[in-house]
Structure 1
């Protein structure tokens, strides 16, 4: 029953994610076509700054509330007070930093943009406890509704203002409106309110004991995930950052984002199974197989068609983003293989291993990125370093998982190999189809035909080499196995 709830949770959450990210991608495309590389570089810097200052979001307490076994109301009121305090501190820190940002970006508009974006932190903090409790209770429909309506609001406001000629301010105002709508909906969906027992230092210490490891992971994660963009803006410039950002948006939305959605469901599911090693390993293997079934065709398909996709979707002025996209989507494959190990560590009360591993991964990748960016000034080379960094990260995560949790490397690789094989065959078919274009299709129609061909080849190959996995998912979603 737990497995079925998790799968249904993934289905609902994934559906909402696909809808919301399709909307986000549409906004990115409209912005890229209307702003150009220079202004997109300013926007990319602003979003990067917000993400850097957001490393303390929730103070690691949301995961603590999901992991909590006591359901103590004092724990929740204490968490709410702490999260709001952190949100206000983040806002103040970004306000202080904003005037200095003009030293990194030539356009002075970056200062007021950052000042208004600082409002995002307390808005998001208002809904963190409700979000955690809805996730803990597997109420993914409510979370999905909040996510979709929040993103739809952001898109509607941003696109309207883009048409009005508001430029970069369109996305700033859209983000604030979308965040407010999302928080309002999770408040309406949750029956918890910040009242009752007063916050206590005892509960704060209890929350921090678990949460400090999540905080450490968050800090390292920001550096690890954004070190490439930080180095590019510092060494190559904000226009180059704009090109890199546009290329990075696709894998962030369709690969890393999908992994994040799966984490929202499997982390509470893994936590509930942490007392039963056999069931936990089975759930982990199922998660890896599902992740790779989704991610492998997306990553390898986009790698095979990166030049065509960038040209058709963003326009000729963005063609320089194509080789960057190729390496970044390929990075999603090893990233997915190592992703769920972190959920196992957190679910079994060992979150310290996650941030320690992430620290090692980050330390290993920073020197080569700095050297490559400084010597070559080539953003494609930076993306290539990120790809090899993900391979290294996946390797040490699986080795650590095997040693700490007793889940052998073969369990992860065995669950990944068939989806990868099917995706490789699909990518080859797509690449050859694009190169020869036997039907003489225009670029736009070629993209549509490529997607259809890839879907047929991938699904057909899986039906031949991975029938058991397909049958499992069919029976899990539509009925119990006999």
Structure 2
């Protein structure tokens, strides 16, 4: 079976699994929004910002290094496992010890209970890191998707149960811990691999060298993506942050649940293709289709239908989240497109080039976002709209030059997708939905109108029609094939 077909099937398996996960997340979000208060979400969001930063240290880029490497020996796998487990334990202890600092930063006493509990996620994820990398390196994308779906299902059910029992913010804490534990158990069963004791005679320095640049890039990127959360919590407190966090959660569902699995598919595929310039160029152009015509279009619908989406998912009392959601969805379109540059940097073995870019670009983004957050939740959302399109263009130009590819075709294909599909979808869905009373009917009518206009554009505009036809062909071919079970390296 060719690498291209494996990539197609992997993409289909990952996106299909994430489709179920998106549904689960949205159902859980809708139920929990009616059982909990905005402040409950806000206090947990204060902690998850710190947890997420420590989680990057826990990984240290070693998962990407393991997937990108042409080969990984058994001794290296064992040592990588213990390295990530040790980093996970270190991060758990460090975050738990930082509890007084976080309580003082946010002036929120309840964090004294939440921080130590959520810090355990870091240890569990540390143990799981190389199991996930092992499945990705073996191209076992169905197994990865199954793990994600099952973990999300069990976590959602646990959260709803705790909320019904009056647990408040503990429902969200229990959800995150449950997801981490279930994912670990399923991945251990799937890999059927048991690490032995660390092997002193086997060096993993090459993985740390690669991971160091990835780690630096991820820290800077995380700061830009979470500066709004930290700043809003510090400036305005848990209630304002809770409303913003729910809008953000809806906006990032397509980003996390589509781009995450696509990264697990795209990175090993592009890494195998990068030694052949012509093959790598074709693979990059094909990889861009998923973000430009997939995630970006979904987010365009979210932007256009923000008002009925908030009314349906979050219910009464959350109307102020609608304009925030619309703005964050627009920013998310360009966050999605910027993922391609990330794939290009890593798959071509040039993480240092992205780190050099982010060393100056991300601090500028953080400064703009913090300035916007000082004006409130809407200000933070507008700041995101301002910075992400610029970062996308700059990142794509630098990544193309670093990988030896022409940036013009990549930029033009993305612009064509935005103008030909995403923009018509957003405008049509907004125009129809705002003229109809009743959020559920408005949502359905807006979706239908947007989809109809996109279909007309796809039929009438030849370049868009070719792109859409290629996406449809990829999906159809993927649907006709099952997962290939590759031997463990």
**TM-score of the superposed pair, with normalisation by structure 1:** 0.93
Aligned counterpart, 1:412? 410
Instruction: Give the Cα–Cα distance (whole angstroms) in 2 for the partners of residues 46 and 388 of structure 1.
Output: 26
Aligned counterpart, 1:99? 100
| Structure 1 unmatched runs, 5+ | none
User: Deviation at 1:402?
Assistant: 3.0
Aligned counterpart, 2:291? 291
User: Deviation at 1:475?
Assistant: 3.6
User: Deviation at 1:36?
Assistant: 2.0
The answer to whether the 8 A contact 1:361-1:392 is kept is no
User: Deviation at 1:26?
Assistant: 2.2
CA change 1:15–1:96 in 2 (3 A) is same
User: Deviation at 1:291?
Assistant: 1.3
Aligned counterpart, 1:134? 135
Q: Does 1:116 align with 2:117?
A: yes
The answer to whether the 8 A contact 2:293-2:421 is kept is no
Q: Tell me: higher relative CO, structure 1 or 2? Use CA pairs within 8 A at least 6 residues apart.
A: 2
Q: Does 1:63 align with 2:78?
A: no
CA change 1:114–1:156 in 2 (3 A) is same
Q: Does 1:173 align with 2:174?
A: yes
User: Deviation at 1:256?
Assistant: 4.4
The one of 450, 453, 460 equivalent to 1:457 is 453
The answer to whether the 8 A contact 1:81-1:199 is kept is no
Aligned counterpart, 2:379? 381
Aligned counterpart, 1:187? 188
Number of aligned pairs? Answer: 474
The answer to whether the 8 A contact 1:224-1:361 is kept is no
Aligned counterpart, 1:234? 234
The answer to whether the 8 A contact 2:434-2:442 is kept is no
| Structure 2 unmatched runs, 5+ | 479-489
Answer with 128-137 or 252-261: which moved more: 252-261
Q: Does 1:85 align with 2:86?
A: yes
Instruction: Give the Cα–Cα distance (whole angstroms) in 2 for the partners of residues 17 and 201 of structure 1.
Output: 40
CA change 1:329–1:479 in 2 (3 A) is closer
The answer to whether the 8 A contact 2:61-2:214 is kept is yes
Instruction: Give the Cα–Cα distance (whole angstroms) in 1 for the partners of residues 445 and 124 of structure 2.
Output: 43
CA change 1:265–1:74 in 2 (3 A) is same
CA deviation digits over 1:257-308, x for unaligned, max 9?
4222211100000000011111111111111122111123222222222223
Instruction: Give the Cα–Cα distance (whole angstroms) in 2 for the partners of residues 319 and 472 of structure 1.
Output: 39
Matches within 5 A, 1:9-408: 9-195=10-196, 198-200=198-200, 203-374=203-374, 377-408=375-406
CA change 1:472–1:115 in 2 (3 A) is same
Instruction: Give the Cα–Cα distance (whole angstroms) in 1 for the partners of residues 460 and 3 of structure 2.
Output: 29
User: Deviation at 1:53?
Assistant: 2.1
Q: Does 1:6 align with 2:7?
A: yes
SS at match of 2:428: helix
User: Deviation at 1:93?
Assistant: 0.8
The answer to whether the 8 A contact 1:255-1:298 is kept is no
Q: Does 1:423 align with 2:427?
A: no
CA deviation digits over 1:113-168, x for unaligned, max 9?
11111111111112211211110111011111111111111011111111111111
CA deviation digits over 1:292-325, x for unaligned, max 9?
1112322222222222322332123211111211
Give runs of ≥4 in structure 1 deviating > 4 Å. Answer: none
Instruction: Give the Cα–Cα distance (whole angstroms) in 2 for the partners of residues 52 and 401 of structure 1.
Output: 25
**TM-score of the superposed pair, with normalisation by structure 2:** 0.92
CA change 1:443–1:8 in 2 (3 A) is same
